[in-house]
Structure 1
């Protein structure tokens, strides 16, 4: 008798960072080309205005002030950012894998061209944040404000934006099929046609429908 083939459970959530049970202290200065492996960084770490090729592996960074910093060639794997300020930070073309941002400020940050694999952003503020031409694979953003965020030409696979404020966000030329948007505000989104194939909840029908009617040039009149 043939055995029934076991089916692998469908993956819905990003894999969490694989971090050690204890960390070593981080250096006092984030330098170009530094590799941090298994380090615990706090608010006291000095971060210059421009840092190149910083590589974080199995780290935790709490209370970091990265606001306005330009981090070129930034890479992070199995790393947690907690209560950090990345407002206005530039992380274009960054490579993030199994990274979690919790209670962070990402307002106006730029992740243009970044690769975001198994990334989780929770309870944060990310208004005006840019994800232009970035790629997200199992990116989960929850309970986070993304008001007027820029997702132009964003490519999503297995992603979810749950309980987020996506009002006036731009999805022009994005590829969002299969993305879950439950509980998120979708009023006045731009590029609504790019949301084809996404999954929404019943209460989102009216705001998203209005955006689609606007794209199609349909007017509701008496």
Structure 2
């Protein structure tokens, strides 16, 4: 834990999932309104194009193919996703608490309006992923490509994007004060004014400064000759 200038304790890392000591086998097919509790699932689980109200509790899912799936009413607690493909998946308004994504493909996935508490995303590919209007608390994203990601109106508390590619990402109207961005690429970001209050490292001064100059309409030119 660290402290802010006002003395509030800052959470530096999300709480890890609380998983069971033994696992139960998964169903062969995912169905609507299923509740998984203590399930260890693999790549052979069939997932239909649309699943409503799937609830995962204390699970582990390895090699899942969730690409392009629409998971409405998705609720996940104390669960690890490992080497899963969620590219293009729609998880709008999902509720995730103490969840980890490791070595997963999240390219183009949508977490619009999602609630993310104690979520960790590590070594993933998440270009163009959408977090529009998501509410994030204690979310840590590490060594992940988020090139062109959409963070419009995202609200972040005690969050960090460390060693990530955030080039051309959109931060319009995001509330990111206190968010740590150390080691992340910030070239050509959009909505740079929403980076107010974030924390960066010295080598990020140039790209962030260039983005702010563009927003303010300041041009760097040679002086006019008399």
Partner of 2:73: 73
Partner of 1:33: 33
Q: Could you state the TM-score of these two structures normalised by the residue count of structure 1?
A: 0.96
Distance in 2, Cα, partners of 1:135 & 1:125: 21
Distance in 2, Cα, partners of 1:172 & 1:10: 24
Distance in 2, Cα, partners of 1:154 & 1:8: 21
Q: List structure 1 segments (4+ residues) > 2 angstroms apart after TM superposition.
A: 7-11
Give secondary structure in 2 for the equivalent of 1:194: helix
Q: 1:9, CA displacement in angstroms?
A: 6.7
Unaligned 5+ segments in structure 2 are 1-6
Question: Bigger shift: 17-26 or 63-72?
Answer: 17-26
Q: Deviations over 1:12-69 (max 9, x none)?
A: 1000000012211111111100000000010000000000000000000000000000
Distance in 1, Cα, partners of 2:8 & 2:127: 37
Call closer, same or farther: CA 1:110–1:211 in 2, change over 3 Å. same
Partner of 1:111: 111
Matches within 5 A, 1:1-222: 10-222=10-222
Unaligned 5+ segments in structure 1 are 1-6
Q: 1:75, CA displacement in angstroms?
A: 0.3
Matched length: 216
Give secondary structure in 2 for the equivalent of 1:24: coil
Give the superposed CA RMSD: 1.1
Q: Could you state the TM-score of these two structures normalised by the residue count of structure 2?
A: 0.94
Distance in 2, Cα, partners of 1:207 & 1:158: 23
Distance in 2, Cα, partners of 1:190 & 1:200: 17
